[in-house]
Structure 1
Amino acid sequence: MANSDDTLIRAATREDLPAITAIYADEVENGSASFETVPPDLAEMTTRFETVTGGGFPYIVAERDGQVLGYAYAGAYHKRAAYRFTVEDSVYIDRAARGTGLGKVLMHALIERCAQAGFRQMIAIISRSASSDASIGLHRAVGFVTVGELPDVGFKQGEWRGITIMQLALGAGASAPPPPGR
């Protein structure tokens, strides 16, 4: 899927993992979106990528002029079988591309792919800090609603951080039985 500004949204590949690893490392070290305190290396990010894609979940990138500027994926919300129709989203944008609407483009594409795959609910677990308003605003802009708050559950960069839990119904949501076979 190409956008009018020559941004390509496509399935991520193993070749994208160095750029994905760098984007995520910057967020772990300098941002507030992740509760990780040590950036995972390329080998760990490769294992994570293979787990997500091997599980049949979408993992996508936004590319412009051959450069990966952001990525998004959905993974299992929980391991127990009854949760199999619910996914948790993650979206990360290169610092230089933030504020350009790229997150919204990625989220719309991820939501579409998850709905087409038969998932019925998407959960966002967003770290609460002074800089988390953009992520909450992004999720609201694509239809998520806040369903809960957990204050002070993580400690990073010298401060306690809570989380905001947001949710979006996909496709028929809970208004119909889930599709067979998943």
Structure 2
Amino acid sequence: MPTNALVDGLVLRDCDENDIPAITAIYSHHVLNGFGTFEIVPPGEAEMKIRRRVMSTNRYPYIVAEFERKVVGFAYVNSYRQRPAYSKTVEDSIYIRDGLQGQGIGQRLLSRLLAETAGAGFRQVVAVIGDSENHASIRLHEKLGFQHAGTLKTVGWKNGRWLDTVLMQLPLGDGASTPL
């Protein structure tokens, strides 16, 4: 991980509702300008509060990275699928403020998120990465032990082009080696 003042000064903590305006702004930028999410219209603060409350109610880890008391990134896990058989599998999401990517924030956030997710008893984490050209996200997940599970070709249409979805997976704790 790079050593720099930004990464050295990061504070990682649980997300709270006061973080929602900053999270909404970060996510909105990615919705409008990127391919990491397949949302087309950025959700507003009210919707982002609802999403956070649902994750909190279901005890899914949701953390933010702060630098000089400003949110510079966030990461969370949420349900992978709704059916009970998937209850120990989650999907991760991670977003960094525009202009701050590539400085180690994502690695710090995802490392902490994975530790909290394992501690919460989840057994598998699935990364559903929008756009097979999203090399930074793919490399980040590889660096933290995720394995490629497949690519779904041209499953999303955004900003005038077809996009792939890259699936990656990481077992946590006992993974699939022991029954629940």
Q: Give the TM-score, by structure 1 length.
A: 0.94
**Match in the other structure for 1:141:** 143
Alignment of 1:122-161 (within 5 A): 122-130=125-133, 132-161=134-163
Structure 2 CA distance, aligned partners of 1:134 and 1:99? 8
1:4 Cα offset (Å): 7.0
Q: Is the contact made by 1:32 and 1:129 (CA closer than 8 Å) also made in structure 2?
A: no
What CA deviation, in whole Å up to 9, does each residue of 1:86-112 have, x standing for no partner?
000000000121110110000000000
1:6 Cα offset (Å): 1.7
SS in 2 for 1:99: coil
CA RMSD, Structure 1 to Structure 2 (Å) = 1.2
1:129 Cα offset (Å): 4.8
**Match in the other structure for 1:90:** 93
Structure 1 CA distance, aligned partners of 2:172 and 2:62? 17
SS in 2 for 1:95: coil
**Match in the other structure for 1:60:** 63
**Match in the other structure for 1:166:** 168
Q: Is the contact made by 1:62 and 1:70 (CA closer than 8 Å) also made in structure 2?
A: yes
Alignment of 1:1-182 (within 5 A): 5-130=8-133, 132-178=134-180
What CA deviation, in whole Å up to 9, does each residue of 1:27-80 have, x standing for no partner?
000111010000000001111111111111000000010000000000111110
SS in 2 for 1:38: coil
Q: Which runs of 5+ in 2 are unaligned?
A: 1-5
1:113 Cα offset (Å): 0.3
Q: Which runs of 5+ in 1 are unaligned?
A: none
